[in-house]
């Protein structure tokens, strides 16, 4: 009996040693990733800090680097991401809820699930080629904000669907059973319990999807986004009745990654500085967007009582 206890203690002590080793390795890997990112961001800020002034944000692109700005690019990125979020989030969440809570388990559902999972890893250029044939030519949307927003919505739709399904699967079955025991219908159970409790996980998928979409260049170039544009789209809000305008959906556009690509292709050092400054702005836009989603996620988690 004593020997068995000593052997158990040695096994426990060995397991604790491996735990410490794993913690050390994990910290080293974390520090490598964080320090690498910090160095890259510091270099980006150092190269572009000199151009971060009011004129840079309120000026259109120019052939002269000192006069060039990102006004059209930042407005284009904002409008494209707005349309992407409006399109992809409701469709992705609804599709995930349907597949997890309503769809019958048969071969059709299995094929859909396999294709959704595979589409999440398809290169973005494939979506650009699909959008070029479907939105630009077949549906005749042209090289517009509408085509760009729908293209990026298709790009992140599988990510949101997969994240929604995983968030729903993490909810204990006792939640469903309790709702049914109290006489709730399936829709009431989904509306009042499943969706609120899975909001945190769903927003995590939305964060990942939007962060990918805002930095994409290949599909936007494929559908014909402009590399030089010196005007803004029509504003979504109009001063005349009905006070909402949809003309901006048909406007030509450019986005921040394409503007950066255009400047990086120039040999002059001043354009390289402009590209670095635009990179800083793009990082800040991504952080703000993700920060808003994280704030919403934390807010919903605090309101939920298991």
The answer for residues whose C-beta is within 8 angstroms of residue 120's C-beta and 6 or more apart is 158, 159, 162
- Describe the crossing of helices 107-119 and 145-169 by its angle, rounded to 10 degrees: 120
90 confidence band (pLDDT: 50, 70, 90): very high
CA 228 to centroid of chain Cα atoms = 25
Q: What are phi and psi of 20, to 5 degrees?
A: -65, -40
Give the DSSP letter of residue 49.
G
The answer for residues whose C-beta is within 8 angstroms of residue 284's C-beta and 6 or more apart is none
Element (DSSP H or E) covering residue 89: helix 71-97
Specify the range with the lowest mean pLDDT, choosing from 30-44, 156-170, 217-231, 250-264: 217-231
Cα separation, 291 vs 64, whole angstroms: 35
305 confidence band (pLDDT: 50, 70, 90): low
Cα separation, 9 vs 6, whole angstroms: 5
Average pLDDT, the chain: 83
The tokens describing 259, both together, are 């503007």
Cα separation, 124 vs 121, whole angstroms: 9
pTM: 0.82
3 confidence band (pLDDT: 50, 70, 90): low
Give the DSSP letter of residue 172.
-
CATH classification (class only), 52-303: mainly alpha
C-alpha dist (Å) from residue 36 to 24, 39, 48: 18, 5, 18
């Amino acid at each position: 009996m004593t020997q068995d206890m000593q052997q158990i203690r040695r096994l426990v002590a060995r397991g604790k040693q491996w735990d410490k080793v794993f913690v050390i390795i994990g910290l080293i890997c974390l520090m490598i990733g964080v320090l690498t990112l910090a160095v890259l961001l510091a270099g980006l800020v150092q190269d572009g800090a000199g151009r971060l002034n009011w004129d840079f944000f309120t000026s259109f692109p120019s052939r002269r680097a000192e006069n060039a700005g990102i006004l059209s690019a930042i407005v284009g990125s904002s409008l494209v991401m707005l349309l992407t979020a409006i399109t992809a989030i409701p469709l992705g969440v609804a599709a995930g809820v349907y597949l997890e809570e309503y769809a019958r388990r048969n071969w059709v559902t299995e094929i859909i699930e396999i294709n959704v999972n595979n589409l999440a890893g398809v290169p973005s250029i494939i979506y650009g080629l699909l959008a070029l044939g479907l939105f630009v030519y077949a549906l005749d949307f042209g090289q517009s904000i509408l085509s760009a927003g729908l293209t990026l919505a298709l790009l992140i739709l599988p990510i949101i669907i997969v994240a929604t399904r995983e968030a729903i699967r993490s909810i204990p079955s006792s939640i469903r059973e309790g709702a049914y025991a109290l006489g709730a219908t399936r829709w009431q159970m989904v509306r009042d319990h499943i969706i609120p409790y899975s909001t945190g996980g769903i927003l995590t998928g939305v964060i990942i999807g939007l962060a990918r979409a805002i930095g994409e260049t290949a599909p936007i170039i494929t559908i014909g986004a402009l590399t030089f544009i010196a005007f803004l789209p029509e504003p979504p809000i109009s001063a005349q009745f009905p006070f909402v305008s949809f003309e901006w959906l048909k406007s030509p556009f450019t986005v921040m990654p394409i503007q950066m690509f255009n400047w990086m292709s120039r040999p002059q050092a001043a354009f390289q500085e402009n590209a670095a400054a635009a990179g800083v702005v793009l990082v800040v836009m991504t952080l703000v967007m993700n920060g808003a989603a994280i704030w919403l996620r934390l807010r919903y988690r605090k309101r939920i009582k298991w």
